[in-house]
Amino acid sequence: MTIDWWTLGLQAINVLILMWLLARVFWRPVAAAIEKRQKVTKSLIEDAQATQAKADAALAEITKTREGLAAERDALLAKAAAQAEAMTKTAMAEARSKAESRIADAQRVKAREVAAARAASAAKSAELSVEIARRLLDRVATDDFQAAFLDLLLTSIAQLPHADKTALIGTSEGIDVLSATALKPAEEAKITAALEKALGETPQLNFITDAKLIAGIELRSAHFVLHNSWHADLDAILKDLRDAA
């Protein structure tokens, strides 16, 4: 095989010329276009990245705002719940206080009613007891009791202040001598003599019968009363029983 160096050289020259032409005519515009496209792509990428950054920032701001709103909502809900609970507690406390006050009022009213009922019952019992005693004493009243009451009357007169004795003697209407039963002349004379001695003077005596006394002798004038009978004693006992009730 014979190599044609001229032909090979010409082909090499043709290749070189072709390569030069490609480099001058084709490769530079293509490279320039590629570089331009790369710049445009880079710019687009940078713009997209900037837009993405802005979007991320906006999203972060929105997320932060949403979290803030959620926190504020939770705070408002918690505050509303606390206020509702406080109002509920206040309402319950007021209701409890009113209920306790009404219960206390009802208890006081009930206690007063019970006390009044007990007092009324005690008063009726006392009146009944005194009435029974009055009837029993009325049956046993005798002259011996009359003499005992005369002694008690004289003792009471002896204990009177001088001013009371003077007022008793000085009455213009005289002194009423009350007894449960009508006195015999001898009994009236005995009482008259005893009163003259006790009072130191001779008073005007008016003998009066009063069955309410049951037994005893009492003196009365316009401004003075000297109780000395079972009736007066029973009235005093009844008063004490009512006061004790």
Instruction: Tell which of 140, 171, 202 closes a domain.
Output: 140
On the question of pLDDT at 140 being above 50, the answer is: no
Helices 185-199, 143-158: axis angle to 10 degrees equals 20
Of the residues 101, 118, 140, the one at which a domain ends: 140
Mean pLDDT of the chain: 77
The residue type found at 152 is L
118 & 146 share domain: no
> b/e per residue, 12-48, with b = 16+ CB within 10 A?
eeeeeeeeeeeeeeeeeeeeeeeeeeeeeeeeeeeee
Q: Are residues 192 and 98 in the same domain?
A: no
Looking at per-residue pLDDT, the higher value among 55 and 193 belongs to: 193
**What's the CA gap between 27 and 142, in Å, rounded?**
168
Q: Return all residues near 231 (Cβ < 8 A) that are at least 6 apart.
A: 134, 212, 213, 214, 216
In a domain, 60, yes or no: yes
* Residues in contact with 40: Cβ distance below 8 Å, sequence separation at least 6, in sequence order: none
Tell me the two tokens of residue 98: 């009113």
Q: What's this model's pTM, rounded to 2 decimal places?
A: 0.45
DSSP codes joined into one string, 15-84: HHHHHHHIIIIIIHHHHHHHHHHHHHHHHHHHHHHHHHHHHHHHHHHHHHHHHHHHHHHHHHHHHHHHHH
Cα gap 96→4, rounded to integer Å: 127
Q: What is the mean pLDDT of residues 197-214?
A: 85
Residue 73 confidence class, pLDDT cut points 50, 70, 90: confident
Same domain, 134 and 168: no
Total number of domains constituting the chain:
2
pLDDT mean over 28-40:
72
Q: How far is CA 244 from CA 85, 116, 237, in A?
A: 53, 13, 10
Tell me the CATH number at 222. 3.30.2320
Does one domain contain both 172 and 131?
Answer: no
pLDDT confidence of residue 214: 82
In a domain, 194, yes or no: yes
Alpha carbon distances (Å) from 9 to 94, 121, 228 = 119, 157, 181
DSSP string covering 129-177: HHHHHHHHHHHH--HHHHHHHHHHHHHHHHTS-HHHHHHHHT-TT-EEE
Residue 167's domain comprises 142-244
Answer yes or no: do 105 and 134 share one domain.
yes
pLDDT given at position 245 = 62
Q: Which residues are CB-contacts of 181 (< 8 A; sequence separation ≥ 6)?
A: 141, 209, 211
27 belongs to a structural domain: no
Q: 50 in a domain, yes or no?
A: yes
Could you give the percent of the chain with pLDDT greater than 90?
2
CA atoms within 13 A on the CB side of 98: 5
pLDDT tens per residue across span 99-117:
788 888 877 887 777 666 6
* pLDDT, greater one: 202 or 219: 219
pLDDT of residue 128: 58
In a domain, 213, yes or no: yes
The last residue of a domain, from among 112, 140, 168? 140
Look at residue 53 and tell me if it is in a domain. Answer: yes
Summarize pLDDT for 141-196 with one digit per residue, the tens: 555 667 788 888 888 888 888 887 877 777 778 888 998 888 889 888 998 898 88
Mean pLDDT of 61-69: 77
Measured CA to CA, the distance from residue 74 to residue 227 in angstroms comes to 90
What pLDDT score was predicted for residue 208? 92
